[in-house]
Amino acid sequence: MSDYNFAYLDEQTKRMIRRAILKGLAIPGYQVPFASREMPMPYGWGTGGVQVSAATLTPDDTLKVIDQGADDTTNAVSIRKFFEKTAKVAVTERTAEATIIQTRHRIPEEDLTEDQILVYQVPIPEPLRFLEPSEVETRKMHALEEYGLMHVKLYEDIARHGEISTAYAYPVKVEDRYVMDPSPIPKFDNPKLEMAGIQLFGAGREQRIYALPPYTRVVSLDFEDHPFERTRAQEDCGLCGAGDSYLDEVIMDDAGARMFVCSDTDYCRARREAGHRGAMAGEGEAFA
Amino acid sequence: MYVAVKGGERAIENAHDWLAEERRGDVSVAELTVAQIREQLALAVNRVMAEGSLYDPDLAALAIKQSRGDLIEAIFLIRAYRTTLPRLGLSEPVDTGAMAVDRRVSATFKDLPGGQVLGPTFDYTHRLLDFALAAEGLEPAAAPEGTPREEPVPHVTEFLDREGLIQPEAESDATPPDLTREPLKLPAGRPLRLQALSRGDEGFVLGMAYSTQRGYGRNHPFVGELRIGKVAVEMEVPELGFAVEIGEVTVTECETVNQFTGSKTEPPQFTRGYGLVFGQTERKAISMALVDRALRWAELGEDNVGAPAQDEEFVLYHSDNIQASGFLEHIKLPHYVDFQSELELIRKLRREAGQATRQEAAE
């Protein structure tokens, strides 16, 4: 066992995954069962996304991998190295240069184009799972378009807290048909689900693939009198000064001093290279 | 001043180097060989083969060495390797009736054709630490040898079957489904359930089986028969047009005989639970048979009493330790984006709750 096939998976398996992807694209938001394989990284580490990326990659592609918006988080590094080794594709940290972007928990700040594919790692693909634990039941609910339970849950949130208390993995309705889990992205990212690029969602352990074709209508669930609200920390990025990006909160010292920085490391880098400076960026400091 | 966290790549490489060093341990102690693990930790090897769904003692032993003895990690290594192997074809069903038994016991008949064969079992050992084992170089005395029985050892359930006392199993020539090649669909059907149980986590299947004994879906099992030994694996080679033996595997088979007083659809008769697992793995095989029987409530017209072991979806979705440990342990990966959005939400809710309280106090 010295040589693995291009992008690790054998061609039969890739064909099976591509069929699931095509079916997913044909029925936006529908969860297509697929015979997920055991990958050489654990379930929960992005095996679904890795399989989708493996089935989508061609030798000419340029791959970017992010986790929490960042290219340098350990698991993003690990997955990027996996494809560098098994597919020998070019890799990049620049959003605009990538043809395929595998992500966990974020959508890049920069708008994607029609030539790009965004691959999501999905832990629990079923948006109704925490309302109904049985897969047999939830599949039936999707088939019958029976989403009352979800609306009751959102209503109860409002009754108890005055607002919908879901901050990430905020459910959406796709093309007025399927309720879909956008994976655990912060709800700040939800409006970006309507985009020019293809979006593919892979859940390895749960054996499901689903997809959003370009320009698909994706509506975050809400009520007329309680419309969907996009939230982020009310700060500017300490490094690049951005006031429109999603921010991570970083604790600086034992006294609890903190700063806010872009979670999208490439977006932040590009802004700083363009001369933007946040309140906490030192003069002429190098951010290598 | 905040310094962006870089160097994930170096951290990973260094961690791997440290792990390799820890795996080896003190270098003044001789290194374990794969052959030593295969021969002397055979039951660990068996478990890894059973739950890894790959019969290869050498690879299983290598996986145990590489995983530092973490058997679930070893099973994972085997699974990840197995999934890359091409499928050359399907074997004929193994004939456990023709098994060369090392061990064969029945709890339902005192004596029976083929006899009770204890074999290499812990059953009647006293669990006293054997300090003599701590001294190396003491070879055990050779065990006495008997003459192996020439004729095949018949299955106990065949005797009950002849009298019509036990529920007959439907025969089928259909190729059983394979959950490693197809996504799990429910209802799963018995062949798929048995596959899932056979490769399921020993601890999980044991716990489920135990729960039926304690009353959560009780089904009164007797071990009709437990047998361990080698069976021939045969495969039909297209060029030849008939099946030829391509090797042998050691398996453990357990058939339980379960009391059954009849239901709306079935007359009073004994019923069966079935367990078949790679290697000498009898705790697992017995557990599997009990859970199999519990899951058969619907086909036997029994009541669903809501016991966990009766719930096919619950059992099948949670029996796989590679899926379970992966998802469980993934929560140690970074979640700071999600957590940040929760932080914002909690702060907002607290602010609003605080305002409401102050307003009430003012009124």
Rounded distance, CA B185 to CA B187, Å? 6
pLDDT grade for B138, boundaries at 50, 70 and 90: confident
Rounded distance, CA B200 to CA A220, Å? 39
A67 touches chain B (CB under 8 A): yes
Average the pLDDT over A26-50 and give the result: 96
As separate numbers, helices (DSSP H) first and strands (DSSP E) second, chain B gives 12, 4
Predicted confidence at residue B349, as pLDDT, reads: 87
B337 touches chain A (CB under 8 A): yes
Which of A16, A43, A71 best probes binding to B when mutated, by most B CB atoms within 10 angstroms? Answer: A43
B11 touches chain A (CB under 8 A): yes
pLDDT grade for B357, boundaries at 50, 70 and 90: confident
Distance from CA of B136 to the nearest CA of A (A): 37
Closest residue in B to A79 (Cα) is B9
Average the pLDDT over B224-240 and give the result: 94
> In this structure, what DSSP letter does residue B232 have?
E
Instruction: Give residue A90's Cα distance to chain centre.
Output: 21
pLDDT at residue A169 above 90? Answer: yes
pLDDT at residue B136 above 70? Answer: yes
Whether the predicted interface score ipTM is above 0.90: no
Closest Cβ opposite residue A167 in set B330, B334, B344: B344
pLDDT at residue B363 above 80? Answer: no
- Residue B72 is which amino acid? I
Closest to A26 measured CA to CA, from A176, A220, A219, A216: A216
Half-sphere exposure of A210 (CA within 13 A, CB side): 21
Closest residue in B to A136 (Cα) is B186
Identify the top-confidence range among A181-195, A221-235, A272-286, B76-90.
A181-195
Cis peptide before B86 (omega within 30 of 0): no
Average pLDDT, chain B: 92
B79 touches chain A (CB under 8 A): yes
CB contact under 8 A, B1 and A280: yes
Identify the top-confidence range among A248-262, B1-15, B55-69, B125-139.
B55-69
CB contact under 8 A, B336 and A68: yes
Rounded distance, CA A69 to CA B116, Å? 64
Rounded distance, CA A25 to CA B142, Å? 66
Residue pairs spanning A and B at CB distance below 8 A: 154
Dmax over CA atoms of chain B, in Å, equals 96
CB contact under 8 A, A249 and B343: yes
pLDDT at residue A285 above 80? Answer: no
CA angle A129, A130, A132 (to 5 degrees): 60
Predicted confidence at residue A283, as pLDDT, reads: 52
Rounded distance, CA B363 to CA B354, Å? 14
Closest Cβ opposite residue B327 in set A44, A68, A285: A44
DSSP per-residue letters across B242-276: EEEEEEEEEEEEEEEEE-----SSS-S-BEEEEEE
Average pLDDT, chain A: 94
Average the pLDDT over B144-166 and give the result: 89
- Residue A68 CA: distances (Å) to CA of A18, A191, A261: 26, 18, 12
Rounded distance, CA B237 to CA A68, Å? 52
pLDDT at residue A83 above 50? Answer: yes
B244 touches chain A (CB under 8 A): no
Q: How many CB atoms lie within 10 A of CB B118?
A: 11
Report percent pLDDT > 90 for chain A: 88
Report percent pLDDT > 70 for chain A: 97
B85 touches chain A (CB under 8 A): no
Chain B CB contacts of A259 below 8 Å: 2
pLDDT at residue A73 above 60? Answer: yes
pLDDT at residue A46 above 90? Answer: yes
Task: List pLDDT tens digits, range B310-330.
Answer: 999 999 999 999 999 999 999
Quote the tokens at residue A144: 């019958």
| Contact in structure between B176 and B195 (CB atoms under 8 Å) | yes
Average the pLDDT over B267-285 and give the result: 95
How is chain B split into domains, by residue range?
A: 12-82, 96-120+149-170+177-325
CB contact under 8 A, A259 and B2: yes
pLDDT at residue B4 above 80? Answer: no
Quote the tokens at residue A197: 């690029």
Chain B CB contacts of A136 below 8 Å: 186-187, 313
pLDDT grade for A287, boundaries at 50, 70 and 90: very low
Which chain B residues in 195-214 lie under 8 Å from chain A, judged by CB atoms?
Answer: none
Q: What is the pTM of this model?
A: 0.91
| Contact in structure between B12 and B19 (CB atoms under 8 Å) | no
pLDDT grade for A30, boundaries at 50, 70 and 90: very high
Backbone angles phi, psi at A104, to 5 degrees: -130, 115
Predicted confidence at residue B5, as pLDDT, reads: 47
For B344-353, the CB contacts below 8 A with 24+ separation are B344/A167, B344/A231, B344/A232, B344/A233, B345/A165, B345/A167, B345/A231, B348/A163, B348/A231, B349/A161, B349/A162, B349/A163, B349/A165, B352/A161, B352/A162
Least confidently predicted of A74-78, A83-87, A282-286, B223-227: A282-286
Average the pLDDT over B151-179 and give the result: 90
B181 touches chain A (CB under 8 A): yes
Average the pLDDT over B114-120 and give the result: 92
Predicted confidence at residue B7, as pLDDT, reads: 60
pLDDT at residue B88 above 90? Answer: no
Burial of B275 (0-12, 13-18, 19+ CB in 10 A): buried
Chain A CB contacts of B325 below 8 Å: 42
Closest Cβ opposite residue B12 in set A4, A74, A163: A74
For B24-127, strand residue ranges (E) read 100-105
Distance from CA of A14 to the nearest CA of B (A): 12
Q: Where in the sequence numbering do the catalytic residues of A fall?
A: 29, 237, 240, 262, 268
Which of B320, B340, B342 best probes binding to A when mutated, by most A CB atoms within 10 angstroms? Answer: B340
B306 touches chain A (CB under 8 A): no
Chain A CB contacts of B8 below 8 Å: 72-74, 76-77
CB contact under 8 A, A261 and B81: no
Identify the top-confidence range among A28-32, A158-162, B165-169.
A28-32
A123 touches chain B (CB under 8 A): yes
Predicted confidence at residue B2, as pLDDT, reads: 41
Closest Cβ opposite residue B338 in set A136, A165, A186: A186
pLDDT at residue B71 above 80? Answer: yes
Which of A4, A38, A81 best probes binding to B when mutated, by most B CB atoms within 10 angstroms? Answer: A38
Closest Cβ opposite residue A77 in set B12, B82, B86: B12
pLDDT at residue A36 above 90? Answer: yes
Topology, domain A11-220: Rossmann fold (3.40.50)
Which of A74, A183, A228, A280 best probes binding to B when mutated, by most B CB atoms within 10 angstroms? Answer: A74
pLDDT grade for B358, boundaries at 50, 70 and 90: confident
Average the pLDDT over A18-24 and give the result: 98
How is chain A split into domains, by residue range?
A: 11-220, 232-279
Least confidently predicted of A3-12, A59-68, A111-120, A124-133: A3-12
Predicted confidence at residue B33, as pLDDT, reads: 98
Which chain A residues in 187-226 lie under 8 Å from chain B, judged by CB atoms?
Answer: 187-188, 205, 207
Predicted confidence at residue B84, as pLDDT, reads: 83
**Antiparallel, parallel or unpaired: β B221-237 and B242-258:** antiparallel
